[in-house]
Amino acid sequence: MNVKSRLPITLAALSALSVAGCISHHETVYRDVERVPVSFENDSAARNFYEALERRRKVRSGNETRTEFHIPVVFDHEVKTVTGPNSAFNDAVRAADTDRDGKITEQEARIFADQNR
């Protein structure tokens, strides 16, 4: 085959490659829940709780899950789920409010703070 007869085949192949691609889907889902209602015995209990919560957040930078599915060159699907800060707050309230009465006492807040140092 000479160069002139290969040119149409080469152009056809390049055209096919330029329109061929992969199906790609990337999605980020933000999920958050409502905060559980909580009260504090006094200002000291609230301060101890929130300071411990802040230390806890610095250690645990957040929750993120990722689901990926790939078929090389043809299909790419990714879903990323990010959990909001209210979930961490609710977990902290459940951990601190040991008697489950919806009120964090100064003693409960101190214990929670000691556990999160």
pTM of the model: 0.63
User: How confident is the model over 11-15, as a mean pLDDT?
Assistant: 65
Neighbours of 64 (CB within 10 A): 10
Residue at token pair 């192949």: 13
Q: Which residues on adjacent β-strands are paired with residue 87?
A: none
Residue 41 DSSP label: S
Please compute the mean of the pLDDT values over residues 86-91 and round it to a whole number.
Answer: 92
- Supply the mean pLDDT for the chain: 84
| 23-75 residue pLDDT tens | 788 888 888 899 999 999 999 999 999 999 999 887 765 567 788 877 776 78
If one counts every other C-beta atom within 10 angstroms of the C-beta of residue 85, the result is 13
Tell me the mean pLDDT in the region 87-94: 94
Question: Are 109 and 55 in contact, with CB atoms under 8 Å apart?
Answer: no
Burial of 21 (0-12, 13-18, 19+ CB in 10 A): exposed
pLDDT given for residue 72 in this prediction:
72
For residues 1-10, average pLDDT: 67
Q: Pick the more confident residue, 59 or 108.
A: 108
* Domain extent listing, the chain: 22-115
